[in-house]
Chains A and B, each alone.
Chain A
Amino acid sequence: MRMPESLSIQINGAACRVAQGTTVAAALLLADQASRISVTGEPRAALCGMGICFECRAIVNGIAHRRTCQILCEQGMTVESGQ
């Protein structure tokens, strides 16, 4: 058994440590953060996990509308809940 290496990312301004290989969508769920706020103001989180539903889209490294289930966390990455 070897422990996965961890890396540090910022989610909505808070520092989080996740294992290497964690998708950004999984990191958002682990941090209990909504990936986006819907057009009527509801918090939403990942639904399909496979890049189809776009519910997990968030702002990654300043770029909006990224499907976070299709992106792996990288050291120093910033993630913010999207609209």
Chain B
Amino acid sequence: MIRTEVLVIGAGPAGIAAATAAAANGRKVIVLDDNLAVGGQIWREQTVQKDDRRPHNGSAKQQGLEALFRSGAQVYAGWSVFDAHASGTVEAIKRSGHEEIVDEFGFDRLILATGARERFLPFPGWTLPGVVGAGGLQALVQGGYSVAGKRVIVAGTGPLLMAVAAHLAEQGARIGAVVEQAPGPKLARFAGSLFIDPAKLMQGARYRAALWNVPYRTGCWVVEATSGGDSQQLQAVRVSNGVRTWTEPCDLLACGYNLVPNTEIASLLGCAFNGSFVEVDERQRTSLPNIFCAGEPTGIGGVDAALVQGKIAGLSCAGKDTQALQRKAAAGRAFAQRLERTFALREELRSLVQDDTIVCRCEDVPFARLRDRNGWTDAKLQTRCGMGPCQGRVCGPAVEFLLGWKSVSVRPPLFPVPFEALCSQSGVPETENASSQN
């Protein structure tokens, strides 16, 4: 077992800010993250160095990472937490190309900064190769996939779509259209509200400039992805505005319906929830003693909200005052509410799914087999929906939207863990310090 005063789960902006604040105030801090490198999804680095371009000096990302490495917090990248106990331990597994190590981490205080994932909604053809998440495609491109010359439709909802489309265009993709389900007037009100936040407004303007020749279709959504006969490779999508439906040919569809919080660890620990989100007070304390939560699991508010909440959580763990940060935190929460209103899912998206449309991709459960079940437990027993390797992370939010079922109890292991690895809790030397990114 490795002991620390403050354990942070997640090394995105919230976790980085939390770890930095706690370590800079004298606490021993360990950060666990299941990705290959720190930064989370929004600060994800390109793993293939195509040129010598480095993150922009002075950028929030660069500042955040430098402060983290200076703070003395130890970062364990590539560690996935699969069990957690409010009494003060979590278990995690590290899997590299050849080996698997399981270890236990003991803590006095725990900060959950587990971020968010994309929400995927089922529609005919969404399981075809070539249909990818919006953030998903961006992540794959950063992992070395090339979209140069490919025709891409970016669809779904949320501010991420424009960021992804701009990034893909920069990488040589031909963006056929950005298809946003939120209605134009709502988006205009949202854009108007950004005048109190010039940085976000500028960012939006930069994306728009990068996409000056790309149609931005608001109040539209993808109803179907089609392949060329037996090829089982995406060839086109059908797009609707509720009145008419048309075909957009494409090589790739990057489609995501905003974000859903990663709250599995909070559920397992028994933290109180407020709707889909972890309930926290103004010091980011959850309902459980010594357990804090920051960033997207408390409300989808983006990077600025995550940074300030993370800092508050870190300072709280170090016994410091957070009064000076409260105004900024409140602004973050207000922004999260505006996002939620603007990008609320429209009713029409519930009727895209057909009888034979697969809802649970792990177990290939079609909608017809789920429709008449009376809830999650019944569905699991009768169909195995949500019982595959992803543990309902993909179909859970979709089923909640389609059928209104709230997910039932979360159980360990949170990820599939090989039996041999569980049995051979070998442990890593206490000296391991993965503070550098590799």
- Measured between alpha carbons, how far is A72 from B48 in the docked complex, in Å? 10
Inter-subunit contact B135/A49 (CB<8 Å): yes
A1-29: which have CB < 8 Å to B? Answer: 1-2, 4, 18-23, 25-27, 29
B369-409: which have CB < 8 Å to A? Answer: 388-390, 393-394
Inter-subunit contact B394/A72 (CB<8 Å): no
Inter-subunit contact B364/A23 (CB<8 Å): no
- Shortest Cβ distance from residue A79 to the other chain B in the assembled complex, whole angstroms: 11
Inter-subunit contact A50/B135 (CB<8 Å): yes
Q: Which residue in chain B gives the minimum CB-CB distance to A22?
A: B144
Say whether B35 faces chain A, with CB atoms less than 8 Å apart: yes
Contacts of B50 in A (CB 8 A): 4, 19
Inter-subunit contact B139/A22 (CB<8 Å): no
Say whether B232 faces chain A, with CB atoms less than 8 Å apart: yes
- Measured between alpha carbons, how far is A19 from B145 in the docked complex, in Å? 10
Question: Contacts A49-B140, A50-B41, A52-B393 known; A4 to B35 CB distance under 8 Å?
Answer: no
Inter-subunit contact B364/A29 (CB<8 Å): no
A43 CB contact (under 8 Å) in B98, B232, B262 = B232
Contacts of A40 in B (CB 8 A): 364
Inter-subunit contact B389/A71 (CB<8 Å): no
Inter-subunit contact B416/A65 (CB<8 Å): yes
Inter-subunit contact A65/B389 (CB<8 Å): yes
Say whether B146 faces chain A, with CB atoms less than 8 Å apart: yes
- Measured between alpha carbons, how far is A17 from B96 in the docked complex, in Å? 21
Contacts of A21 in B (CB 8 A): 46-49, 144
Contacts of A42 in B (CB 8 A): 127, 232, 364
A41-77: which have CB < 8 Å to B? Answer: 42-55, 57, 60-61, 65-66, 69-72, 74, 77
B109-151: which have CB < 8 Å to A? Answer: 117-118, 120, 127, 129-133, 135-141, 143-146
Contacts of A22 in B (CB 8 A): 47-48, 143-144
Inter-subunit contact A74/B97 (CB<8 Å): yes
Q: Which residue in chain B gives the minimum CB-CB distance to A28?
A: B145
Q: Which residue in chain A gives the minimum CB-CB distance to B40?
A: A50
- Measured between alpha carbons, how far is A15 from B135 in the docked complex, in Å? 29
A47 CB contact (under 8 Å) in B132, B145, B363 = B132
- Measured between alpha carbons, how far is A7 from B393 in the docked complex, in Å? 34
Inter-subunit contact B34/A53 (CB<8 Å): no
Can you pick out 6 interface pairs between chain A and chain B where the beta carbons lie within 8 Å of each other?
A4-B49, A30-B146, A42-B232, A50-B35, A53-B120, A69-B143
Residues of B participating in the A interface, judged by any CB pair closer than 8 Å: 34-36, 41, 46-52, 78, 80, 95-98, 117-118, 120, 127, 129-133, 135-141, 143-146, 232, 262, 361-364, 388-390, 393-394, 416
Residues of A participating in the B interface, judged by any CB pair closer than 8 Å: 1-2, 4, 18-23, 25-27, 29-30, 34, 38-40, 42-55, 57, 60-61, 65-66, 69-72, 74, 77
Give 20 A-B pairs besides A20-B48, A53-B393 with Cβ atoms closer than 8 angstroms. Answer: A18-B144, A21-B47, A21-B144, A22-B143, A23-B140, A26-B144, A42-B127, A43-B232, A44-B361, A47-B131, A48-B135, A49-B132, A49-B133, A50-B139, A52-B390, A53-B394, A55-B361, A61-B98, A72-B36, A77-B97
